[in-house]
Chains A and B, each alone.
Chain A
Amino acid sequence: MSTVAQTPERVMPDRHYLNDNYGIRSWLLTKDHKRIAILYLISISVVFFIAGIFASLIRLHLLTPNGALFTPDTYNKMFTMHGVMMVFFFLVPSVPAVLGNFVIPLMVGAKDLAFPKINLMSWYIYIVGVTFAMAAIVSGGVDTGWTFYTPLSSGFLHTNVIVMVVGVIFAGFSSIFTGLNFIVTVHRMRAPGLTWGRLPLMVWSNYATSLIMILATPVLAITLILLGLERGFHIGIFDPKLGGDPVLFQHMFWFYSHPAVYIMILPGMGVISEIIPCFSRKRIFGYSFVAFSSIAIAVFGFVVWAHHMFVAGISVYSAMVFSLLSYAVAIPSAVKVFNWTATMYKGSISMDTPMLYAMGFIGLFTIGGLTGLFLAALGLDVHIHDTYFVIAHFHFIMVGGMVMAYLGGIHFWWPKMTGRLYPEAVAKLAALITFIGFNLTFFPQFVLGYLGQPRRYAIYAPEFQVLNVLSTAGASVLAVGFILPALYLTWSLKYGEVAGDNPWRATGLEWQTTSPPPTHNFHETPVVTTEAYHYGSESEEEVRVVP
């Protein structure tokens, strides 16, 4: 059963943000948040496929115990570049810079973000970052792991660490400016009647994400700057020969990178919070709890970073402190999962593609999150740290969770962004293929990790081969699942059915304007008189537009 509204005539508006201005300059010099979102969409899709190619090469190499394709040094480059591209250049900007940029001004009833020129600048900074990263890849690659641990990265290895690190710093600044824009927009530019308590949860999530971006990313910047100085001028802040402490690099690096994983997942949770109520035709259960849990995740996420360092040489006392705090940070995420599930309970569920991705998210994110608790236990971590257990854990969260949330969001807002519907049957098939491929790829990795296969090794013990082959087989299915949307979404731009203003009959201000929206978003400033998610209430179109 589909929720697409069966209105007799669905037409594209004559003028909208895509056809208001033509020419490459109107795109490259745009200040329209919607166009900037599209620019980001194209860029990060390219990055995703490049990083995906590295992933495929990794899995192909691991088909045999002695490594099928590469020397160990080259293999190190494969997983490093996969990690760097995916973390810094895909996951961090994905939902905020694409979906957030597009949807947040609409959701708060504004014409644009607070600082449109800074928004465009953030995209250019991102592109500069990508350029540096590509330059590092093309001129020999980097093999330190995406975590750039010293002293490997500061002196031992002779790859293009500095070029790559400069690229990452630029990507970080891009995210800082995005976050800055969101924070000021949400504080200062809400439409009349739109109190904090009426904001869609997508806005709450992206706001919390922006707080993390502002507070954590600068520490990454200074850490990488110090690393660059160490590598370039051979000063010895992290160099044991000069009395430096390599663990200090890890402290500073993870101070950013742990909150960074919340930067990566929180926006996805925001997307899920939009999709579930819509396709359950029911208001979200426990709105305040979900809203505040986003802030709680953002705050708690800052005090758990050393759980990445339990076996690195930190004091046992601080390991205990961080372990306890890591258990605490799981709680707000659990709150969200409970609330989404409770929202679906006795709802009128329709299995449209966004909902399929959302349900996949809930299941896979939960598994990934629970396995995090295993890793947070000190005794257990001694055995499973730096094994495939960790890899499976974060891929369940980042791919099974975040990428699925991203795809769900893309499908959910595709009609709004393009005015077109994608072909539903193919899309459902792709979601299913992705789900199956994902599980086949990563579930065996939990077992492998538990059995002892270490991560970042180019070879493994022969008894692990069957599970590795299963994992690679799954990866090829997963690849199909990712390629299909790239194809049919592009196809739908020209041949897709016209969507109309609100094909999902969703609440939210973005659905009260045309699909695609006009450049200035709303013909008149909306006034909000209802809570968010007023599904199932007397009249689902209670938002008045002031003439």
Chain B
Amino acid sequence: MTEGAHPTHKVYYLVFLALVIGTVLTWRIAFVDLTFFGISFNPEVAVLIACTKATLVILFFMHVRYSSKLTMLTVAAGFFWLLIMISLDLCDYLTRGAVKPL
């Protein structure tokens, strides 16, 4: 994509539609029990839909799809660092009591 190019209004309306559908979907699916093999997948589905919506906003409304590689790297880095914080914190909280101290 050329830097500085912008999406057309058609793209904006399509993305808007997708976002609305995503919102309605999230809302309705929260009332449906998505338990398979004994695990509830509701939270994962909710987060997945939210991530999809966020990605659409970032790529199209915020023009990242049409921006430099540096911009894309910057956005990716931000979310990656958030992932570091989440995973290493969970590393503690999920394993409390897992290894018996000597």
| Direct contact between the two chains A and B in their complex (CB within 8 A) | yes
Q: Which residues of A contact B (CB under 8 A)?
A: 187, 215, 219, 251, 255, 302-303, 305-306, 314-318, 320-322
A321/B89 contact (C-beta < 8 A), A215-B81, A303-B84, A316-B101 known: no
Which of B2-10, B30-38, B57-65, B91-99 is the interface stretch? B91-99
A187/B70 contact (C-beta < 8 A), A215-B81, A306-B88 known: yes
11 A–B pairs (Cβ distance < 8 Å), ordered by A: A215-B78, A219-B85, A255-B85, A303-B88, A314-B92, A315-B92, A316-B98, A317-B95, A318-B91, A318-B95, A321-B88
Whether B98 pairs with A302 at a CB distance below 8 angstroms is: no
Could you say which residues of chain B place their CB within 8 Å of the CB of A320?
99
Whether B92 pairs with A251 at a CB distance below 8 angstroms is: yes
A315/B98 contact (C-beta < 8 A), A187-B70, A251-B92, A321-B91 known: yes
Whether B88 pairs with A315 at a CB distance below 8 angstroms is: no
Query: For chain B, which range describes its interface: under 10, 10 to 19, 20 to 34, or 35 or more residues?
Result: 10 to 19
B84: which of A302, A316, A322 is its contact (CB, 8 Å)?
Answer: A302
Nearest to B102 among chain A residues (CB) is A316
* B74 → chain A closest CB, angstroms: 9
Nearest to A319 among chain B residues (CB) is B92
Whether B91 pairs with A317 at a CB distance below 8 angstroms is: yes
Interface residues of B in 38-95 (CB under 8 A from A): 70, 77-78, 81, 84-85, 88-89, 91-93, 95
Whether B98 pairs with A317 at a CB distance below 8 angstroms is: yes
Nearest to B98 among chain A residues (CB) is A317
Report the separation of the CA atoms of residues A303 and B89 in the bound assembly, to the nearest whole angstrom. 10
Q: Which residues of B contact A (CB under 8 A)?
A: 70, 77-78, 81, 84-85, 88-89, 91-93, 95-101
Could you say which residues of chain B place their CB within 8 Å of the CB of A215?
77-78, 81
* A295 → chain B closest CB, angstroms: 12
Report the separation of the CA atoms of residues A315 and B77 in the bound assembly, to the nearest whole angstrom. 28
Whether A315 pairs with B85 at a CB distance below 8 angstroms is: no
Could you say which residues of chain B place their CB within 8 Å of the CB of A187?
70
Whether A316 pairs with B99 at a CB distance below 8 angstroms is: yes
Whether B85 pairs with A306 at a CB distance below 8 angstroms is: no
Report the separation of the CA atoms of residues A318 and B96 in the bound assembly, to the nearest whole angstrom. 9
Nearest to B78 among chain A residues (CB) is A215
**With contacts A315-B97, A317-B95, A317-B99 known, what are 7 further pairs, Cβ within 8 A?**
A215-B77, A251-B89, A306-B92, A315-B91, A315-B98, A316-B95, A321-B91
Chain B CB within 10 A, most for which of A187, A314, A320? A314
Report the separation of the CA atoms of residues A239 and B95 in the bound assembly, to the nearest whole angstrom. 22
Report the separation of the CA atoms of residues A107 and B22 in the bound assembly, to the nearest whole angstrom. 49
Whether B95 pairs with A302 at a CB distance below 8 angstroms is: no
Report the separation of the CA atoms of residues A325 and B7 in the bound assembly, to the nearest whole angstrom. 44
Report the separation of the CA atoms of residues A314 and B91 in the bound assembly, to the nearest whole angstrom. 10
Report the separation of the CA atoms of residues A314 and B92 in the bound assembly, to the nearest whole angstrom. 6
Whether A315 pairs with B84 at a CB distance below 8 angstroms is: no
Could you say which residues of chain B place their CB within 8 Å of the CB of A306?
88, 92
Report the separation of the CA atoms of residues A302 and B82 in the bound assembly, to the nearest whole angstrom. 11
Could you say which residues of chain A place their CB within 8 Å of the CB of B93?
315
Report the separation of the CA atoms of residues A187 and B95 in the bound assembly, to the nearest whole angstrom. 41
